[in-house]
Every structure is written in structure tokens, then in C-alpha cells.
Amino acid sequence: MSEALLELSAVEARRLIGAGELSPVDLLDACLARIEAIEPSVDALAATAFERARDEALRAQEAVARREPLGL
């Protein structure tokens, strides 16, 4: 499933999140797994904010559960 998540466009991922069909945390986990798999050979990231990203994903997931409007 995580590979399929990586193939979604940003627009489609946002639509699925807004509809409650995709967890922002699941999408983040898929992205982080891909980064962890590729980054050692690419060595392109000087800094990361993975903890902040997880906090933001959790907040978005909670907002969806409360049916609050989400930003882009």
C-alpha cells in the first residue's frame, strides 16, 4: 500500500485525506520510508524535520476526525 501512496498526486492525496479515506500519518509514513530507503545513496538532505512533520500529520488526522476544514 505504501508504494501506491507514493504514486498519488498531491491533489489526489489531499482529496483522500479530506474525505477521510487516507490518513495523513499513513501518507507521511510512506514518504519517510521512501526517504530512508533512498537518502543514504543520494545524500541530499542537510537537515530534516521529521518530528515536526509527524506532529503536523497527527494534527491533520485529528482535524479530519473532528470534520474540521483543512488547509491545502
pLDDT digits (tens, 9 = 90+) for 16-32: 999 999 999 999 999 99
In a domain, 71, yes or no: no
Per-residue pLDDT, 1: 58
> What's the number of domains the chain is made of?
1
CA 26-19-65 angle, 5° bins = 70
- Asked whether residue 42 is domain-assigned, the answer is yes
Residue 5 and residue 71: Cα distance in Å, rounded?
A: 20
Residue 52 Cα distances to 17, 19, 28, 49, angstroms: 19, 24, 11, 5
- Determine the average pLDDT of the residues in 45-69: 94
C-alpha cell at 25: 500519518
Is 72 within the bounds of a domain?
A: no
**What is the Cα Rg of the chain in Å?**
13
CA distance 11 to 52: 22
Write out the residue range of the structural domain in which residue 37 sits.
Answer: 2-65
In a domain? residue 70 = no
Whether residue 30 is contained in a domain is answered as yes
